[in-house]
Amino acid sequence: MATFNVQIEKLDANNYSNWAADIKYLLLDKDCWSIVTGTEEIPVLDPDKGITHRDLKEYRLRASTAISTIYLNISPEFRKIIEGTENARVAWDSLKKFFEPDNRSRHMQLFSEFLACKILPGENISLFAVKLLRLQEKLKGINHPIDEDYMCFQLLRYLPSRYDSIVQSILRWSDDKFKFNEIQLELVAEESRLQVRASDNNDEHIEAHSISSYRKSCRKSLVCFHCNRSGHFRNKCPELQKKVPSVSSGFDRIPSTSQDCGRSLPDTSPNPSSNNQRWRRRTKIQNTNPSSHGGKGELRVKENGQLLFKAFLRDGLYVVNPNILNQKRVGFSANSVQKLDARLWHSRLAHIGSHTIQNTVKNKGVRGLKGYVDSNLNCEVCKLYKHRRTSFKATNFVRSKAPNDLIFMDTWGPIKVTGRNGERYYLSIIDDFSKKTSVYPLREKSEVFRVFKNHVSRAERFIGRKVKCIRTDNGSEFANDNFKTFCADNGIKHEFTNIYTPEQNGVAERYNQTALDCSRCMLADGGLDNKFWPDAVLCFTYVWNRICHKNQVKTPFELFGGYKPSVRHLKAFGATAYVGLPRQLRSSKLGPKAKKAFSDSDFAACRDDRVSMGGQIIFIGQAPIVWRTFKEKCISLSTMEAEFIALTEAAKEMTWFDRILGECCDRKIIEVIKEKPTLYVDNLAAIDFVKSPVENHRSRHIDVKLFFIRDLVYKELFELKYVKSKDNLSDIFTKAPTKHDLEKFVDVVFKKNVNDTVYS
């Protein structure tokens, strides 16, 4: 069978559909398509059925032709998809799976292409219908067939306006006739009729142009008996016209006119007021074919059989009332005047505003924009992608007339750094009249309703006025049955802001911004950890209620409570404060408050003899008395044993200090100390071993003398507590500290109160 050397476009990332169709017919031409689809199987040698080695060799040759044809018609960057594959069917399935995967993303893409399929300007109806049918086949191939009614609607949806009449007629068809093929045939017939009509109009213009040209050629042979010049008769001699003034001479000098609301064409007939004289004149309309008009007082200009505008003779001028169809701007002039398309240049210049382009033209900043005329562009793309919400104007007046008339509420959070008590949110409640603010740190949003009820009760009792209205967003902490029932029972109006419009609750939103900005500054200035953020917000709110705000001559506290507050007692946030001790607990000004000790060990730290290293730090009150690193006297067999030895050494040190205090201080001072000495260890196994009297096989070898600490714990002379390794202050004595660990140790031991840490 003869084959043709056909060159098709190679497969790339954007042409799989067309490539698949082309390669299919190319393989059909080579008699290989049945091998690709799998309908033809590998022949098995069977002399009885007439299947010989020749048949098998021929099949293998066609199979090789199929895979080579597919491979060689793929772009080099995509050949890796089927490299190593010699089976044409496997290669075809791999390409289809890669370029047209059967997933929801592919389904959505095809459906979007179907809905966005439009007829292009100048495109044939039949070609448009073929595009829709191909998309229907693709959707059918992924088990999402398109109903025929939707196919019909899509075919009629984006047709040009010249098809409006036939579309309205088709939509009135019965269900039996309303089929895709029937509609396609009707539209193709209408398309042919419109093309014939447009061709007839062009023929009329050509015929009129030919007659006019013939008359001009005939006039060249005429000779005037007055001036002996060719081209005219004596009654139309220009010299005689100069001698006899004409009423129309003034109209001959009328220039071409262009206006926005009304367009005028000059009438240059010898006598425009005469109805008996027939005259004809050529008029060139921009972007249309030349047309002729007669001197009957009316001019009609058409394009493709459609009326663009009419011009009426009025005082020697043709005044135009444009009939604009399909939103087209009709441009015309008596003398051909070309103007640059503002919409086209708006697209070329990256959709910059027309006033900016006009300013560039005015200043002659570039070349190539001569003739550009600014116009009111109606760019749909700019409307979609340059859209901005109208800004909310600031309200410079108070909405309420008295406290508790209107309350703004908002919840801020969550925050990653929890407060000292686990707070992750805070609720801000702001009175509109006085701008007095109350802030409540929260662990969960579910606490909002309980806090709100308590606030309402306290605020109403404080000033003797009921809460009338509250305004919140649509958060679930506000929009729930509890709020709805409470507000209904107490006669409180609950206003909600529109979704995605936090500006309607701008009072609370703006307060949150100010409070957080100042709180961050307070934490940084005071050198405090971020876990103190609830305290910083509460402190800021306390101060915020005691300063005059914009457009206020009184503080929010005075406007709400009725009396002027004092700020003499305020101190800088983070300043050191001292708590007084009740007289009943005082025995001596120098009496220590408590004793604390930390112990730690590094198992088998010494590389020479594998002896563990121990470390300890002991406090009396807030002062570190002893801190040291020591090498344990015996080899430990486990981490628990090493920690146990270090713990015993710390207990011995604390026992010695108790005796020193007993000898140096009055016994009454010692009796005042009600807290038992506390030992902090970061090993739970060591703590359990001290408290448990049961021994196991891993602790039988421990020397009896090390059970000294167990006796102290049984007698309740010491208390053992667990501490995390990262919070163990003695950990720095047994391991090489990082910069962060060293800074933390210095900060806690020498700058801060140890009792304020997690060890208390």
The encoded tokens of residue 71 equal: 């491979």
- Among the residue ranges 324-333, 466-475, 674-683, the one predicted with the least confidence is 324-333
Average pLDDT over residues 252-277: 41
Locate the DSSP E strands across 3-116. none
Token representation of residue 537:
């917000």
Please tell me the predicted confidence (pLDDT) of residue 262. 41
pLDDT band at 396 (very low <50, low <70, confident <90, very high): low
pLDDT at 533 over 90: yes
Class of domain 596-750: alpha beta
Q: What is the mean pLDDT of residues 692-708?
A: 59
Using a 10 angstrom Cβ sphere, with 0-12 exposed, 13-18 middle and 19 or more buried, the burial of residue 322 is middle
- How far apart, in Å, are the Cα atoms of 670 and each of 22, 591, 613, 626, 673? 101, 8, 33, 20, 6
Exposure string (b/e) for 621-646, b if CB count within 10 Å is 16 or more?
Answer: bbebeebeeeebeeebeebbbbbbbb
281, amino acid identity: R
Taking residues 139-151, report their average pLDDT.
Answer: 81
Q: How far apart are CA 227 and CA 234, in angstroms?
A: 8
The candidate with the shortest Cα–Cα distance to 324, out of 142, 133, 161, 214, is: 161
Tell whether the model's pLDDT for residue 143 goes beyond 80: no
- Per-residue pLDDT averaged across 26-52, rounded? 83
Instruction: Considering only residues 119 and 212, tell me which one the structure prediction assigns the higher pLDDT.
Output: 119
The boundaries of every CATH 3.30.420.10 domain in the chain are 407-561, 596-750
Q: How remote is the C-alpha of 519 from its chain's centroid?
A: 30
Contacts of 163 (CB under 8 A, 6+ apart): 187, 190
Assess whether pLDDT exceeds 50 at residue 314.
yes
User: Quick one: average pLDDT of 260-284?
Assistant: 42
Asked whether residue 589 carries a pLDDT value surpassing 80, the answer given is no
Query: What are the structure tokens assigned to 127, written together?
Result: 């070609």
597 contacts: CB under 8 Å, gap ≥ 6: 616, 617, 618, 619, 650, 651, 653, 654, 677, 678, 679, 680
Task: Report pLDDT for 365.
Answer: 81
Mean pLDDT to the nearest integer, 34-39: 87
Task: Tokens 């021929």: give the residue.
Answer: 58
CA distance 612 to 733: 12
671: confidence class by pLDDT, cuts 50, 70, 90: low
Structure-token pair, residue 321: 């009332």
Mean pLDDT to the nearest integer, 399-412:
91
In this model, does residue 452 exceed pLDDT 60? yes
265 pLDDT tier (thresholds 50, 70, 90): very low
CATH 3.30.420.10 correct for 407-561? yes
Q: Is the pLDDT of residue 291 over 70?
A: no
- The pLDDT tens digits of the residues spanning 407-450 come to 999 999 899 999 988 999 999 999 999 999 999 999 999 999 99
Q: Are 8 and 16 in contact (CB under 8 A)?
A: no
Residue range 615-656, pLDDT digits in tens: 777 777 667 777 777 767 676 677 777 777 777 878 777 777
**Residue 201 to residue 205: CA distance in whole angstroms:** 6
Give every CB contact of residue 476 below 8 A, 6+ residues apart in sequence. 445
Label residue 121 by pLDDT band (50, 70, 90).
confident
Question: Between these two residues, 501 and 253, which has the higher pLDDT value?
Answer: 501
DSSP-derived letter for residue 428 is E
The reported pLDDT for the residue numbered 477 is: 92
Model confidence at 282, pLDDT cuts 50, 70, 90, reads very low
* Mean pLDDT (the chain, rounded): 75
Q: Tell me what pLDDT residue 674 has.
A: 47
CB 159 within 8 A of CB 118: no
3-state DSSP call for residue 332?
A: strand
Write the pLDDT tens digit of every residue in 146-204: 888 888 888 888 888 888 888 888 888 888 888 888 888 888 888 888 888 877 666 55
* Amino acid letter, 597: A
75 phi-psi bin (left φ>0, alpha ψ -120 to 50, beta other): beta
The residue-averaged pLDDT of 29-42 equals: 86
SS (H, E, C) 572-616: CCCCCCCCCCCHHHCCCCCCCCCEEEEEEEECCCCCCCCCCEEEE
